[in-house]
Structure formats: structure tokens, C-alpha cells
Amino acid sequence: MDAQLLKPGNHRMAMEWVWDLKAFDSSDQKAMQACGRLIMAGWGCGETNLFKNTTFSYTSATMYSNTTIICNQQVSTGQFMVRVDGEGRMKRSKLIGELKYDDRRIFYYSTSARNFTAQLAMLHVEPPWNRLDYGIMHNDNSFHSFSHLIGEYLVTKTLSDSSPPSPRFEDAQHALSKFYKHFFPIVLSQNLNRIFVPAGNVRRSAVGQLNSIQPRMSMDSVMLYIAVVILGFHLIARTIISHGRLGASC
């Protein structure tokens, strides 16, 4: 929000941010790895005050309420029985066995689950040249952050209103989860050769079943109409004959 465009006085403001977390001590490898996979997303609303006179001007901001989520990413792998359609789109899946975490056999070269989630967390953060130190402030009701924008679009609900209170935790969590579920497979599909071990080096089940629809009988439409008429004639004739026999016996 450009303070130079504001008039003096109080103004409502909204704020969204997506940050990665860093350990206080960069030499602590465990802390660095733990913080590297975390994503912090926030929504807030409050008021900003602009004071101007002939010599100087300053702006102060007060946050009235905020909703903050810390997302801890985990990559789990397992064996699934998958059902797909003719175009290869998955329709149904069923887990066989148990999920495994940080499976080193699936990642390519030196990539690990921790390394992958740390890089994925960096992609959620606004680029440094498009990010303010204190987040993105605005006084309209539209998002100015990519992940928040997509999340709001997916849940079809406005979470960026500058009037208090800030969005409910459940709504914000739902929006971030929706965004993540769409963002995660896109990253995988665009970087398969950089993330996973090539398929030729992994043993996998080759058991499959193909279900297809095949016509067993075909008939011309004219012949179908003739057959229906003949069957209808037989039905009417049988009804008349049966009714006549019933009357004669009486």
C-alpha cells in the first residue's frame, strides 16, 4: 500500500504474508533442517494512520487481528493399487501396506525428502524483489500474494477483507491446503527427472487389468423398427387369441 497515495488520517488495511522460517543459529544443522521444511502463512487486518505536515510525514500501522498458520511438510511414499481411465487419469487408488517417510530409494542423486521439502517451501515465498519486510499491505479486498490469491479462488471465499476480524483459522487452513494440493503435483510433473529415480531403475508390479466396452450385436435402424413392429404384431395377436379362447371356454 503506497502511503504517498493516502490522505492524512486513519485507513483500514489488510495484510497477507507467506514466509519461510530460518533457524536462529545457522550452525545448528538440526534446527536448520527443521525450519527449512516449514511454511508460515498469515492473514491480518488493522488500521494505518498517515500524518503529514509541511516538513515531514510518517505512517503508523496497528494490527487488530491476525490468523497465522505454520505448515509442516512431510513426503510419504507407498505402494498403491491404482485405477485409471483410457487417457491415464487416476480414478481410484487404494494403499497396499503402510506409508514410508523419507524413503531414500525414490529420490534422484543427492536429493532427499528434507531437501525437497525445503526447496518446495522456498517456492511458496514471494520473490525478494516483490516482497516487503512486513508483508503486503493493501486497503482493498483483493489478495496481493500468489498463494493467497489461488487459495481464495479454490475455496470461492473472500479472506482478504480489510475490515476485522481476520479470517477464521479453519477457512485459512482450507485455502492453504487447497492451494498446496494443486501446487504440489504441478511441481512433481514439471520436475520428474530432477526429483525421482528413473523408472527403469525401480522394481515395480506389472500386474494390470484393462476394462473396455465392445459391441456384441449391431443392427441397422430400419431393421430394428421392422423387428419391433413384428414383435408388437405377435403380442397383439397372442392377446386376441388368448382372449377368444378364454371366452369360448366360458
Q: Can you spell out the DSSP letters for 20-87?
A: E---SSTT-HHHHHHHHTEEEEEEEEEEEEEEE-SS-EEEEEEEEEEEEEEEE---EEEEEEEEE-TT
Q: What pLDDT digit, counting tens, does each position of 83-137 carry?
A: 888 777 888 889 988 888 877 777 776 667 777 777 787 777 755 445 444 456 7
Residue 133 is predicted with a pLDDT of 45
Among candidates 93, 67, 96, which has minimal Cα distance to 82?
93
- Please identify which residue in the block is written with the cell numbers 525478494: 128
Q: How far apart are CA 143 and CA 125, in angstroms?
A: 15
Residue with C-alpha cell 475455496?
Answer: 155
Residue 120's nearest CA partner among 185, 196, 37, 23 is 37
**pLDDT (tens digit, 9 = 90+) per residue, 10-59?**
888 888 888 778 888 888 888 887 887 788 888 888 888 888 777 777 77
Average pLDDT of the residues of the chain: 77
pLDDT exceeding 90 applies to what percent of the chain?
1
